[in-house]
């Protein structure tokens, strides 16, 4: 006759030491007959589905590296994870109820989820996301002509003024403010009216929009060149939903100082040795980025839908020229936030798991572990307080208006703290819940890491692999 699962529970000797009854495969229950065939079918379908997704994506994009943060990559990664989990069920046979098979399956699932998380993070960090540019990038004079032909002021002969930017320093002050300093210059040819105001305006500067200091001025071949030094705090709407895998665009929005003139600012491409975005034109070579990695820089155009004429004529007749932007696209370095936040989260999760492992309804084990229900409650309360403090520190440092990706981890830890406490209370109560009581609270312990890592993996796909 098959031995019951309870027969495999640890037994205590007279001196209080735990002794585990040896489990032989023949003693284990055969388990539900449908589990292994279902696992085989899931394994085969997952492998086929993952291969089909990767193949179709490669045919559409030409390369798997085209957009590593694509939902197709997320789907293939998920199916691959399901295939590994199904293979573990096929090989280890946890449906038989043997303790070693259950523990091994839980461990394999947890390791597979960790590997899937690392692969997902690597794919996101390598993804080439040039959609962070503000407006339409322009890298040649032909791009400028094409954009102005489509979006320039209609029926107006505008004066084009070549404008260049060289950024020497930049620092994020908080979640919405960035400080930038450097030089901006303009070339005024003989066709520029003499009464046209010289200079530029940085409209997004908090205080220094008009306070540029003239650094140099010279004239050559009838072209007057004037350069100004600027140091401004710019207020911009940064998006931190993907923190710490986010990319930010610290742009410089440039207006002409002659607000009433028919002037269009155009990039001074001739002033740069290379205008390729990856070569970082207009950025100091010895730039100090403080936790950021530069990706691209360059000029772009954008048409802003103003609803006012600023007092100059009728608003219905407003014909604003395109606005020139200088973009500096940065990618956050993942290492700093990882050691600052993820290491703490891993330690907190391990401590919670330790509390869960020591939670039992066996009075002899309670005496040996010296951990009561009130002890679990006290330890969990202290851990919850530490998680709250770390979460508040994170919110204060990022200053995000919404919930960031990394905040999923403290939120999950909040839930786990409550679950661990409820598990201890229900285990000590007269209420008999089979999931908790079965084999001395074994199922919650087996499910802890797969559930925790599965929630983090699901949040990773939902936030970082959006279409």
pLDDT of residue 18: 43
pLDDT class of 386 with cuts at 50, 70, 90 = very high
Residues 328 and 340 in one domain: no
Name the percent of the chain lying above pLDDT 90.
51
- CA–CA distances in Å: residue 21 to residues 24, 371, 399: 10, 24, 55
pLDDT top residue among 83 and 334: 83
Task: Give the pLDDT confidence of 257-271 residue by residue, as tens digits.
Answer: 877 668 899 999 999
The rounded distance, in Å, linking the Cα atoms of 224 and 192 is 10
Do 13 and 52 share a domain, yes or no?
A: yes
Q: Given 282, 304, 333, which residue is the final one in a domain?
A: 333
Tally of domains within the chain: 3
Angle between helices 442-464 and 71-92 (to 10 degrees): 160
pLDDT exceeds cutoff 90 at 455:
yes
Q: Are residues 459 and 351 in the same domain?
A: yes
Domain with 215 in it: 132-333
Token digits for 160? 């084009």
**Among 66, 101, 128, which residue terminates a domain?**
128
Q: Are residues 236 and 144 in the same domain?
A: yes
Are 179 and 303 found together in one domain?
yes
State pLDDT tens for residues 37-69: 999 999 999 999 999 998 888 887 766 665 666
Residue 437: is its pLDDT beyond 90?
no
* pLDDT > 50? residue 432: yes
- Report helix, strand or coil for 332: strand
Do 310 and 388 belong to one domain?
Answer: no
Radius of gyration of the chain (CA): 31
Query: Do both 69 and 169 map to the same domain?
Result: no
Per-residue model confidence as pLDDT tens digits over 122-178: 888 887 665 678 899 999 999 999 999 888 776 566 789 999 999 999 999 888 899
Task: Based on the fold, state whether residues 325 and 363 are members of the same structural domain.
Answer: no
pTM for this model (two decimals): 0.81
For residues 348 and 242, membership in a common domain is answered with no
Whether residue 114 is found in the same domain as residue 227:
no
| Domain shared by 307 and 355, yes or no | no
State which of 104, 128, 152 marks the end of a domain.
128
**What's the CATH code of the domain at 206?**
2.70.170.10
Question: What pLDDT does residue 260 have?
Answer: 66
Q: Is 313 in a helix, a strand, or coil? A: coil
338 plus 328 within the same structural domain: no
């Amino acid at each position: 006759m098959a031995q019951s699962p309870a027969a495999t529970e640890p037994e205590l000797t007279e001196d209080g030491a735990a002794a585990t009854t040896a489990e032989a495969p023949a003693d284990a229950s055969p388990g539900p007959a449908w589990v292994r065939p279902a696992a085989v079918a899931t394994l085969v379908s997952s492998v086929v589905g993952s291969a089909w997704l990767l193949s179709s994506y490669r045919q559409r994009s030409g390369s798997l590296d085209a957009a590593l943060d694509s939902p197709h990559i997320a789907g293939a990664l998920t199916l691959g994870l399901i295939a590994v989990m199904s293979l573990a069920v096929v090989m280890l046979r946890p449906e038989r109820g043997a303790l070693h098979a259950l523990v091994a399956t839980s461990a394999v699932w947890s390791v597979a989820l960790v590997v899937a998380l690392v692969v997902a993070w690597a794919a996101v960090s390598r993804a080439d996301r040039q959609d962070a540019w503000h407006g339409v990038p322009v890298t040649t004079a032909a791009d400028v002509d094409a954009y102005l032909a489509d979006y320039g002021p209609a029926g107006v002969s505008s004066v084009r003024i070549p404008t260049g930017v060289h950024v020497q320093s930049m620092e994020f002050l908080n979640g919405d403010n960035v400080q930038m300093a450097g030089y901006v210059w303009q070339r005024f040819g003989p066709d520029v009216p003499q009464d046209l105001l010289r200079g530029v305006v940085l409209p997004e500067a908090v205080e220094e929009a008009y306070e540029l200091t003239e650094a140099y001025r010279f004239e050559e071949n009838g072209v007057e060149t004037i350069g100004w030094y600027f140091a401004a705090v710019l207020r911009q709407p940064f998006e931190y939903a993907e923190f710490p895998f986010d990319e930010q665009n610290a742009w410089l929005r440039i207006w002409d100082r002659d607000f009433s003139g028919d002037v269009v600012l155009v990039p001074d491409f001739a002033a740069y040795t290379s205008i390729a975005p990856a070569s970082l034109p207009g950025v100091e070579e010895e730039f100090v980025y403080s936790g950021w990695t530069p990706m691209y820089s360059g000029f772009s155009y954008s048409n802003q839908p103003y609803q006012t004429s600023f007092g100059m004529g009728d608003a219905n007749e407003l014909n604003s020229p395109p606005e020139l932007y200088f973009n500096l696209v940065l990618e956050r370095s993942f290492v700093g936030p990882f050691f600052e936040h993820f290491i703490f989260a891993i330690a907190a999760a391990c401590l919670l798991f330790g509390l869960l492992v020591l939670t039992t309804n066996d009075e002899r084990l309670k005496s040996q572990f010296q951990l009561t229900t009130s002890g679990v409650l006290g330890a969990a309360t202290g851990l919850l307080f530490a998680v709250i403090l770390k979460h508040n520190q994170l919110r204060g440092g990022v200053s995000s208006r919404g919930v960031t990706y990394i905040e999923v981890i403290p939120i999950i830890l909040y839930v786990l703290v409550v679950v661990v406490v409820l598990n201890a209370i229900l285990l000590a109560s007269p209420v008999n819940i089979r999931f908790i009581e079965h084999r001395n609270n074994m199922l919650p312990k087996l499910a802890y890491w797969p559930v925790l890592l599965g929630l983090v993996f699901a949040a990773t796909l939902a936030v970082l692999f959006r279409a």
